[in-house]
Amino acid sequence: MTPILKLEHVSKIYPGVVALDDVDFSLDAGEVRGLLGKNGAGKSTLIKILSGAVIPDSGTITVDDQPVVMHSTRDAFHHGIYTVYQEMSLVPALSVAENITLGRWQKKNLFGFIPTIDYGAVRRIAQSALDELEVKLDLDTPVSRLSIAQQQTVEIAKALSFNPRVFVLDEPTSSLADHEVQALHRIVRRLAEQGRAIIYVTHRLQEIPHIAHTVTVLRDGKSVGTIAVKEATSERIANMMIGFDWQRVHRERSTSTQDVKLAVRNLSRAGVLHDISFEVRGGEVLGIAGLLGSGRTELLRAIFGLDPIDSGTVIVNGHEVTHPTPALMKINGMGLTPEDRKRQGLILSSSVQRNMTMASLDRVSEYGLLRLTNEKNLVQKMVDLISIKTPSVSVKVGTLSGGNQQKVVIGNWLNNQPSVLMMDEPTRGIDIQAKEQIFELMRSLAKQGLAVLFVSSEIEEVLDVCDRILIMKDGRIIGETLPSEVNLEQLLSRVMAEETHG
Amino acid sequence: MVSTQKEALATSEQPHAAYRATQFILQSGLLIAVILLFIVLSIIAPNFLSERNILNILRAVAFNGIIACGMTFVIISGDIDVSVGSAIAWSSSLLGVLAIKNGWNLEVAIVFVLIQGILIHLAASYIRVRWNVPAFVVTLALFISLRGAARLITNAYPVTPFPDYFSFIGGGFILEGIPFLSRGIPVPVVIMLTTFAIFYFISIRTVFGRSVYSVGGNEEAARLSGIPVWRTRMTIFAITGFLAALCGVLISSRIMSGASNIAEGLEFEVIAAVIIGGTSLSGGQGSIIGTFLGVIFIGLLGNGMVLLGIQSFVQEIIRGFIILFAVLISIWQNSLQKRVGAVAEAKT
C-alpha cells in the first residue's frame, strides 16, 4: 500500500537553530500516528510545515504519490491536509452551523437582488458534517457557549467539509476532561475508519496506547524512530525523547536543615489545584516537575495571590496568609519571577533601572519620595552582581537579549531582598550561557539562605539544579524525589505517565 | 574573553550615543516647533506681540493647562477621561447654586465643590477598576450626565452675582508693573504654572509618579511587583476630579457666574494637547514637560489663526489635522527609536 503522506529529507533551519533536520515521515490510510517529543524537539515546526504555515528549506512532501508544495494553509487544505490547533479558529459569536461553514456560506438573493445567506443550505452542510462524526450538537448555539471539547468537535466538523485525507491534531486533549477525551478518541477512530490518516500530537503518554497505532519520536529536530504502539512503553519513549547524550552537571547540593521559609497547607483552587501541601527551607532549591497543564504555574500564581484560592493557607517566614495578594506576599518577603517575562515581568518601553526597582520602590524612597541616586546605585550594583550585559541602566529593557531581560526580572526581585523566591520558567527562550548563569545564581542564592522554588518544563533542568523535586500532575502533587534517587528517564516517565490515583 | 567583552562594550557605546542624540532631536521637536511658531506669528500676525494678546494666550491656556496635568497622568496610566469639561461645568453650576441661590458661605461652597469633584471621580474610577469597565465608557457616562445635571440645577441660565472679591482667583493679577506685562501675571496662569511644577515633581521624583508609569506600561508586571494598581488608578482619577472642580471654580470667578455651558469640548482640546506633547495613548510613556509644550502649542496656534483672520470653521479643520499629524510624528518617532535600538542591540 502506498502511504497517503510522505515526507523525505525535510529540513528547516532558523537563524541559530536547526528546527528540523533531515526528517523522513510517512503515513498510511487509516493510521493514527502519535507524534512525541520534548519542547523544541521540532514537533511544532513539523506541524507548521504540514499546515502550510512554514515552508521547509529542503526535502519533499508527497500526498498520494504527488509531490506538493504548500505556501499557505489554503494550499494545505487543497492537498487534503487539515490541522486543528490548540487555539481554535472559531468565531465565538457565530453559531455552530455558521462556524462549520465559515467562509463558504451559500448565498441566495432576496427579492432577486439583495444577497443574503442561505441558512437552509448552511444548516444542511453543517448537519451532514456532524452526522459524519456521529455527534449531536445544536446547530444554532453560539460557539462561545460550548465547552472546549464541543468547540473542538466543531473545528473537526469544519475540517471535514474540506474532506481532508490527513488530519493533524495538535495537543487535542490538553484541556479536556477524561470523559471528553473518550469522546474525542471515538471521533478520531471514526475518522481513521473512513480511511483518513491522523497525526496525533500529545504530551499525555498514557493516551497513546488507547488511540495510536504507531508512534514517532522527534528529538533535536531529528526523527529518532517510529515504533508500533505495543512496543511503546513509557520507559522506552522517555528514552527515545531524551537520548543518551545528556549529562548531569555536577553541582554542589545540600540537604537544608534551616528553618522552613515557605509552607503551603491544603491549598485548593476548584478545578485547578487540589489539596497541595509542601514546605521549602532556607538554603534549598525545590523543583516542581510537571507537564504543561499540570498546574505548576497555577500553583505559583495561587501562592503569590495572583489567582484566588478556595481554601488552604500559605505560611511565609512564619506569617500565616489565607488571602494572598502580591503586595502582601512581597511585604512578607516573597518574590515571583513570572513565566512570560515580556507580558508579565517587564515594562519593555521603560529603562533597565525602572524595571529593576518596580518591586523595591519602598527601598529606594523615603516618605514616598524617590532617592534617585540611591536607586541608580542599587540597580548598578545588582547589574554588576548578576552580570547583566547592558550599555547602561538607562537603556530600554526591550533592547536587551532574552537572557539579560530575564536577569532584569530576577534582579527586580533580588533588589527587594526576598527570603523566598519563586521562579517560573526562568530559562525559557534564553541561550545556554545565560541559562547556566541563572542556574549558578539560583545555587548561590540558596547558599545565602534563600528558599528557591523552581518551575521548568525542561525536566533535566529541574534534575540539574534542585535539591528536592515535587512531581505535579493534574493539579496534584503526586510524588516527591531527590535528584540522587532518579535518573532522567525515570523522572520523565513519572511526570508523564503516572496515573493520578496510583 | 576579556578583550572581546571590552570590544562589545566599546561598540555598544556608539549606537547608544546615536540613540541618545536621536532621542534628543526627536524629543526637542515640539520645543523647536513651539519656538518656530512663535517667531513666525510674531512676524506675520498683526498685534501678536502686544501685551493684550500675550495676556489672552496665557489666559486661554491656563485652564487647559491645569486639566492637562491630570490628563497626562490619566493617559500615561493607559486610561482616558472625557468627562473633565462636563465636570467643570457641573462644578461651576454647583458653586453658583450653593453660594448664590442657597446662600452658602462662599469659601465653604468652594471647599464643598472641590471635595465633591474628588468624590465623583473616585466613584467613577472604582467602577473602572472593580468591574474592569473601560475608563472611556465610565467617563463618557459622566460627560453626558454631569452636563445634564449642570443644566438641571441652573435651568441652563448663568447664576449671578458672586461677591466682587471672588473675581481675583480667576480674573485677577499679581506682580503688577513687571516689564512688558504691566498689568501683571493673571492668577490662573500662576496656578497653572504651579500645577505644572508640582506634577513635574510628582512624575519624576515620587513613588506614586513611578507607579503611574508602571501601571500604564504593563499593568500585569506592576501588579506582580506588588504595586497597588487599583489605588494608583483611583488616585489619578481623584486628582483629575479635583483639578476639574478647581477649574470650575476658577472659570466661575473669571466670568463671575455659575454656568452650565462652559468648557464644552475642553476635554478633547486637553487630550489633543497631551497627545501632541508626546504622551502615548497606549500608556506607559509621556511627560509633563511635553504636555506643557503641547498646551502652549495649541494655544499659540489657536491665537495665531484668530489674528490671521482665518475663518473659525476652517480653524477647526486645521486643528484636527494638526492632531493627526502630531500622532503620526510620534508613531514615526517610535519606529525610528526602535530601529536605533535594534542597531544598538545588534552591535552588542
pLDDT digit string, tens, across residues A199-243? 999 877 778 888 999 999 998 889 998 999 888 887 788 888 877
Rg of chain A over Cα atoms, rounded to whole angstroms, equals 26
The residues that bridge with A67 in the sheet, in sequence order, are A62
Pairwise CA distance, residues A60 & A62, whole Å: 7
CA–CA min distance B206, chain A (Å): 4
Q: What percent of chain A has pLDDT over 70?
A: 96
Q: Which residues contact A404 (CB under 8 A, 6 or more apart)?
A: A388, A389, A390, A434
How high is the pLDDT of residue B21?
67
Q: How far apart are CA B283 and CA B270, in angstroms?
A: 16
Give me the residue label for grid cell 432577486: A112
Residue numbers of A between 410 and 449 with CB closer than 8 Å to B: 412
Q: Is residue A290 within a helix (H) or strand (E), and if so which, with residue range?
A: none
pLDDT, mean over chain A: 88
What would the mean pLDDT of B129-151 be, rounded to a whole number? 97
The Cα B44–Cα B61 span in angstroms is: 21
Q: Is the pLDDT at B159 greater than 60, yes or no?
A: yes
Residues in chain A with CB shorter than 8 Å from the CB of B214 are 347, 350, 354, 358
Task: Name the more confident of B153 and A492.
Answer: B153
pLDDT score recorded for residue B9: 40
Instruction: Indicate the burial class of A351 (C-beta count within 10 angstroms; 0-12, 13-18, 19 or more).
Output: middle
- Relative to beta strand A197-201, strand A32-36 is parallel
B143 has pLDDT over 50:
yes
| C-beta atoms of A399 and B224 within 8 A | no
CA pair distance B310, B302, nearest whole angstrom: 10
In this predicted model, what pLDDT tens digit does every residue of A453-487 receive, in sequence order?
Answer: 999 888 888 988 999 999 998 899 999 999 888 88
What is the model's pLDDT at position B3?
A: 40
CA distances from B120 to B123, B241, B244, B251, B260 (A): 5, 7, 11, 20, 17
Q: What is the pLDDT of residue A288?
A: 95
pLDDT band at residue B157, thresholds of 50, 70 and 90?
A: very high
Sheet holding A81-84, edge to edge: A81-84, A166-170, A197-201, A32-36, A214-219, A222-228
Tell the residue number behind the cell numbers 466661575, with chain if given: B252
Nearest CA in chain B to A324: B226
Neighbouring residues of A173: CB distance < 8 A, sequence distance ≥ 6 = A180, A181, A184, A202, A204, A207
- What is the model's pLDDT at position B1? 37
Q: Give residue A150's pLDDT band: very low, low, confident or very high (50, 70, 90).
A: confident
Closest CB from B210, B222, B344 relative to A370: B210
What lies within 8 Å, CB to CB, of A23 at 6+ separation is A7, A9, A10, A11, A42, A46, A59, A218, A221, A222, A223
Residue type, A340: D
Place A373 in a pLDDT band, splitting at 50, 70 and 90: very high
Q: What is the mean pLDDT of residues B257-265?
A: 95
In chain A, what residues touch B210 (CB-CB under 8 Å)? 354, 361, 370
- Asked, as a colleague might, if the bond just before B161 is cis with ω within 30 of 0, I would say yes
Phi, psi dihedral angles at A145 (to 5 degrees): -90, 0
Collapsed DSSP state (helix, strand, coil) of residue B345: helix
Q: Which three cell numbers stand for residue A132?
A: 459524519
**Phi, psi at A25, each rounded to 5°:** -160, 130
What number is the ipTM of this complex?
Answer: 0.85
Rounded-to-integer distance, Cα A398 and Cα A400, Å: 6
Tell me, what's the pLDDT at A428?
81
Pair B256, B169: CB distance under 8 Å: no
Average pLDDT score, chain B: 89
H or E segment to which residue A378 belongs: helix A372-385
pLDDT digit string, tens, across residues A7-66: 999 999 877 678 899 999 999 999 999 998 877 788 888 999 999 988 999 999 998 888
Q: What is the pLDDT of residue A216?
A: 94
CA dist A343 and B233 (Å) reads 20
pLDDT on residue B10: 38
pLDDT class of B347 with cuts at 50, 70, 90: very low
Sheet holding A58-63, edge to edge: A17-27, A5-14, A58-63, A66-68
Residue A145 backbone zone (phi > 0: left; psi -120 to 50: alpha; other: beta): alpha
